[in-house]
Amino acid sequence: MKPVDRHLADILATVRPLAPLEVEIEAALGAVLAEDVASPVPLPPFDNSAMDGYAVRAGDVAAVPVTLPVIGDVAAGDDGLNALGPGLVTRIMTGAPLPAGADAVVPVEWTDGGTARVRIDRPAPPGNAIRRAGEDVRAGDVVLREGARIGPAQIGILAGVGRRRVLVRPRPRVVVLSTGAELSEPGTPLGAGHIWESNSFMLAAAVREAGAEGFRAGSVTDDPKEFMDTLDAQLLRADAVITSGGVSMGAYEPVKEALSPLGTVTFEKVAMQPGMPQGFGVVGPDRVPIFTLPGNPVSSFVSFVLFVKPALRAMQGLPAGPPATVRATVTGPVRSPAGKRSYLRAVLTGETVAPVTGQGSHQLAALAAANALIVVPEDETSLPEGAEVEVIPL
Ligand code: AMP
Ligand code: MG
């Protein structure tokens, strides 16, 4: 059997980062930056008031109370060309440019709020309530680096440095297709011998959580031709494809039957539990990566975490490798088949980890109750309560 790490290495050696694309910043959410972004100007661009109050010369308000004439107003958006002489003050609003000559702002709360004359009750030291030009960003500073994931705050700073468009690696478009004659759409009645189809919903959601776009292509029966026709139709819009089911050792394995003759997809046994039967390769003229995951829901989920998620990171130009792990103490004994790496569903609380009841690869409710996977190495067949284990937080 093929080691888990080698299977991931093969996948990462095949997938390529998507080509960068210039998009409007509104469309950049979730994408990964493909350029360094610098600010053309300092931010703030000019000295301005941090509060509503009065721009003063600090020396004029050193001894209080003091009453001074108010020569006018400076509002946000004013051009900042006015100057302040000694012994005079001007009302100033938050974000308004500091008049030349002023070196402090007295908050309105420290005054009687006067408009012709104002009584100031507290001294304001030089620099008080002033936001200096460049104190957030200096001109030419890189504010975001290539490889940064673009969230709302990153879109904010892109706009804040005046950018309208930005070069990104787009979110990979991933089509998820389930196979199985026994599958019924949720929301429709359950026929005899049927189960409700869950993998495509779960995997499409996992794709989205991984920063890509997940599209459910629904499910097809176990007819290889129907599978291939659906796959062909979906390839147009896919940067990657995930299928579930139809890759094990039985009869009626449409994915294996349809893709094996192409010679570009390899079906292998990977030394892991759950999720032993795995397939990976490329399909179509654009050589779109395809992950053919086993059908058991827990197997397909664990396969996604171990293989697809790192591949989606690589496609976004991000560093990619095995999932991050933490160490924890297991609260009860665990078992694992010899020669396979096990991924046991578990609840991680602080530094302890408790396996959940129901470790079958069909036991989706147990997966839904878990928040972590305990990793048991290939050469261990059991670990006692209290053992230190490696854990993948989900
Ligand atoms: P297969 O890999 O096709 O042999 O399927 C293995 C097991 O997983 C079978 O019990 C299937 O019924 C189940 N299974 C396959 N695909 C799905 C799916 N999309 N949703 C829920 N269960 C599935
Ligand atoms: Mg099947």
In angstroms, what is the C-alpha Rg of the chain?
Answer: 31
Ligand number nearest CA of 181 is: 2
Q: Is 257 in the pocket of ligand 1 (CB under 6 A)?
A: no
Q: In what order do the strands lie in the sheet with 173-179?
A: 213-220, 173-179, 240-244, 288-293, 277-283, 265-269
pLDDT score of 376: 98
H or E stretch covering 154: helix 152-160
Q: Is 49 in the pocket of ligand 1 (CB under 6 A)?
A: no
CA 195–ligand 1 middle distance (angstroms)? 9
* Encoded tokens for 331: 């609260």
CA distance 70 to 83: 13
Q: 30-48 in b/e burial notation, b at 16+ Cβ within 10 A?
A: bbbbbeebebeebbbeebb
Ligand number nearest CA of 277 is: 1
Per-residue pLDDT reduced to its tens digit, 326-336: 999 999 999 99
CA 329–ligand 2 middle distance (angstroms)? 37
CA 117–ligand 2 middle distance (angstroms)? 84
CA distance 372 to 150: 27
Query: Phi and psi of 330, rounded to 5°?
Result: -80, 140
CA 276–ligand 2 middle distance (angstroms)? 15
pLDDT below 70 — which residues of the chain? none
* Encoded tokens for 5: 């790490």
User: Rounded to two decimals, what is the model's pTM?
Assistant: 0.88
Give the list of residues 6+ apart from residue 250 with CB closer than 8 angstroms, or none. Answer: none
Beta bridge partners of 11: none
Q: Is 294 in the pocket of ligand 1 (CB under 6 A)?
A: yes
Q: Is 244 in the pocket of ligand 1 (CB under 6 A)?
A: yes
Contact criterion met (CB below 8 Å) for 354 and 347: yes
Sign of CA dihedral 392, 324, 12, 338: negative
Q: What is the DSSP letter of 228?
A: H
Q: Whose CA is nearest to atom 14 of ligand 1?
A: 295
pLDDT score of 251: 87
H or E stretch covering 204: helix 199-209
* Encoded tokens for 24: 């409007």
Give the list of residues 6+ apart from residue 95 with CB closer than 8 angstroms, or none. Answer: 48, 49, 76, 77
Q: Is the peptide bond before 44 cis (omega within 30 degrees of 0)?
A: yes
CA 274–ligand 1 middle distance (angstroms)? 13
Which of 179, 185, 199 most suits a substitution to test ligand 1, by most atoms within 8 Å of the C-beta? 199
> Tokens 């290889």 correspond to what residue?
224
pLDDT score of 181: 96
Q: What is the DSSP letter of 135?
A: S
CA-angle at 255, arms to 250 and 258, nearest 5°: 110
Q: Is 300 in the pocket of ligand 1 (CB under 6 A)?
A: no
Contact criterion met (CB below 8 Å) for 290 and 283: yes
Q: Is 277 in the pocket of ligand 1 (CB under 6 A)?
A: no
Per-residue pLDDT reduced to its tens digit, 235-293: 988 999 999 999 988 888 999 999 999 999 999 999 999 999 999 999 999 999 999 99
pLDDT score of 238: 97
C-alpha neighbours within 13 Å on the C-beta side of residue 355: 23
Q: Is 221 in the pocket of ligand 1 (CB under 6 A)?
A: no
Q: Is 296 in the pocket of ligand 1 (CB under 6 A)?
A: yes
CA distance 302 to 293: 10
DSSP states of 354-392 as a string?
EEPS---TT-HHHHHH-SEEEEE-TT-SEE-TT-EEEEE
pLDDT score of 82: 83
